[in-house]
């Protein structure tokens, strides 16, 4: 089928996520027909460097022989069977590997290790599982409590299910569903690019730490869990937290008996520089939520890791009502688990984290080139996660008018230059795959910088 026919059918029948379809149907977005390495190839044969690693999930590139072969081999055994009443080999092997991989989150031997894995389908479901487990845990632990509140950060994004939207706080995404969502406490995000009147960067961060402590102390007997994307709030615009913030969150949640949910869906699997972001502040959460890069970006799979303490609260006779009544049809899918096992092998064989370190340093150097550009308001980076916020006035941080759609225009210009990227409003994201070679990261920067210059200057 040719491009024109596919375009017509796409516009007629496919409703794309996070897209205003009235505009999407006129954008003539590429229709991807194949891929090779770190490039996507459309139905007309044009190539695009995958600058956002297929929405932050691709790790090793596309058509990776080892992962392809692992999936083919699994197809010769079984493609899917339920975990409701059965087990399957790859899900067992992957659970063991995930526990081993997280065993060094903290060097402190007194920290409670993660020992149990609950599978689901994607990032939102991984977080939804953690929310429900935390809520039920407090009602079933040895000294039960009716804790019913969750605490999140301003500007948070944790997914699009009702539960995850409730703990999120991005107005554009969530305001339409306000009356569907359950009440959640919020603490201010300690980012300092824009601070409220009366604060400077230093006093604002001090205020954020104070509000964190006050909120948890005043509501300690009602808070079931605190949820955070460790180190970086990704969908909020690559908002990087100050050093020590995550560690302080862990200290306070431990003090008040509050469970900590670490949403590493976007920041896990090497993107911040370590396999998991929590490693960088030596903390072990009560729940670690994983997805996106877990299969190397191949197949939908998610995992919620937790502790023996949480798991034990759900044990009891069949009639006790202590069961976790939650599950998904494709929980622990063997194909996804086989891909994940192959991906973890590649992290070691190809020294992917060393590549991330090299690309991180490269990005630091390249981003300095545009630091003083008149419409580059703020550059935020953690590892290979980068957000470039574009502004109308650099001195005052005044944003462009929404109707200007500057961020979107940059992505369209980049597409002409053979680069696929996405914007979060007027924040342009660079999220190369962890295994992308430095030469391609250089090319990514070249094409993006040229696109920025073309649109803003």
DSSP 57-81: T-SS-BS-HHHHHHHHHHHTT-S--
d(CA 420, CA 146): 48
d(CA 207, CA 188): 9
Q: Which residues pair with 263 in a beta bridge?
A: 289
Residues 6+ apart with CB under 8 A from 156: 167, 168, 169, 170, 186, 189, 227, 228, 229, 233, 236
Structure token pair of residue 294 = 């877990």
DSSP-derived letter for residue 37 is: B
- The confidence score (pLDDT) of residue 36 equals 97
- The confidence score (pLDDT) of residue 364 equals 98
Question: Residues in the chain, how many?
Answer: 457
d(CA 389, CA 381): 11
- The confidence score (pLDDT) of residue 293 equals 98
pLDDT, one tens digit for every residue, the chain (457 residues): 888 999 999 999 999 998 888 888 888 899 999 999 999 999 999 999 999 999 999 999 999 999 999 999 999 999 999 999 999 999 999 999 999 999 988 777 678 999 999 999 999 999 999 999 999 999 999 999 999 999 999 999 999 999 999 999 998 888 899 999 999 999 999 999 999 999 999 999 999 999 999 999 999 999 999 999 999 999 999 999 999 999 999 999 999 999 999 999 999 999 999 999 999 999 999 999 999 999 999 999 999 999 999 999 999 998 899 999 999 999 999 999 999 999 999 999 999 999 999 999 999 999 999 999 999 999 999 999 999 999 999 999 999 999 999 999 999 999 999 999 999 999 999 999 999 999 999 999 999 999 999 999 8
Query: Which residue from 180, 149, 186 is spatially nearest to 165, judged by alpha carbons?
Result: 180
- The confidence score (pLDDT) of residue 94 equals 98
Domains and CATH numbers, the chain: 31-60+373-456 (3.90.1150.10), 72-349 (3.40.640.10)
Q: Are 113 and 104 in contact (CB under 8 A)?
A: no
Q: Are 243 and 431 in contact (CB under 8 A)?
A: no
DSSP secondary structure letters along 309-330: HHHHTT-S-GGGS-S-----TT
48: phi then psi, degrees, rounded to nearest 5: -135, 125
- The confidence score (pLDDT) of residue 174 equals 86
Which residue bears the tokens 């339409």? 176
Query: Which residue from 402, 410, 416 is spatially nearest to 28, judged by alpha carbons?
Result: 416
d(CA 375, CA 456): 7
């Amino acid at each position: 089928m040719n491009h024109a026919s596919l375009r017509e059918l796409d516009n007629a029948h496919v409703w794309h996520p996070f897209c205003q379809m009235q505009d999407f149907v006129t954008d003539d977005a590429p229709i991807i027909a194949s891929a090779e390495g770190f490039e996507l190839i459309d139905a007309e044969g044009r190539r695009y460097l995958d600058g956002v690693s297929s929405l932050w999930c691709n790790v090793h590139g596309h058509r990776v022989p080892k992962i392809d072969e692992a999936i083919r081999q699994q197809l010769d055994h079984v493609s899917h069977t339920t975990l409701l009443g059965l087990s399957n080999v790859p899900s067992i092997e992957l659970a063991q590997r995930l526990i081993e991989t997280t065993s060094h989150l903290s060097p402190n031997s007194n920290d409670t290790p993660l020992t149990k894995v609950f599978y689901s389908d994607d990032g939102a479901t991984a977080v939804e599982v953690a929310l429900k487990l935390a809520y039920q845990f407090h009602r079933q632990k040895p000294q039960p409590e009716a804790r019913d509140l969750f605490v999140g950060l301003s500007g948070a994004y944790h997914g699009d299910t009702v539960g995850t939207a409730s703990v999120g706080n991005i107005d554009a995404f969530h305001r339409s569903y306000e009356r569907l969502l359950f009440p959640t406490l919020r603490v201010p995000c300690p980012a300092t690019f824009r601070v409220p009147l009366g604060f400077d960067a230093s006093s604002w961060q001090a205020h954020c730490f104070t509000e964190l402590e006050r909120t948890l102390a005043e509501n300690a007997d009602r808070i079931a869990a605190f949820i955070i994307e460790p180190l970086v709030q990704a969908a909020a615009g690559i908002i990087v937290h100050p050093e020590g913030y995550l560690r302080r969150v862990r200290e306070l949640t431990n003090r008040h008996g509050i469970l900590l949910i670490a949403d590493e869906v976007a920041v896990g699997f090497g993107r911040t520089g370590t396999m998991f972001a929590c490693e960088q502040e030596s903390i072990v959460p009560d729940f670690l939520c994983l997805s996106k890069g877990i299969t190397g970006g191949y197949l939908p799979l998610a995992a919620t890791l937790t502790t023996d303490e949480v798991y034990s609260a759900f044990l009891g006779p069949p009639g006790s009502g202590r069961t976790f009544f939650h599950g998904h049809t494709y929980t622990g899918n063997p194909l996804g688990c086989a891909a994940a096992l192959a991906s973890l092998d590649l992290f070691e064989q190809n020294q992917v984290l060393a590549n991330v370190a090299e690309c991180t340093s490269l990005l630091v150097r390249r981003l300095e080139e545009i630091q003083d550009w008149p419409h580059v308001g703020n550059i935020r980076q953690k590892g290979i996660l980068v957000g470039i916020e574009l502004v109308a006035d650099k001195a005052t941080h005044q944003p462009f008018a929404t109707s200007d759609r500057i961020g979107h225009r940059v992505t369209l210009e980049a597409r002409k230059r053979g680069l696929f990227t996405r914007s979060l409003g007027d924040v342009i994201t660079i999220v190369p795959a962890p295994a992308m070679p430095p030469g391609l990261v250089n090319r990514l920067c070249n094409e993006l910088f040229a696109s920025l210059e073309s649109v803003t200057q």
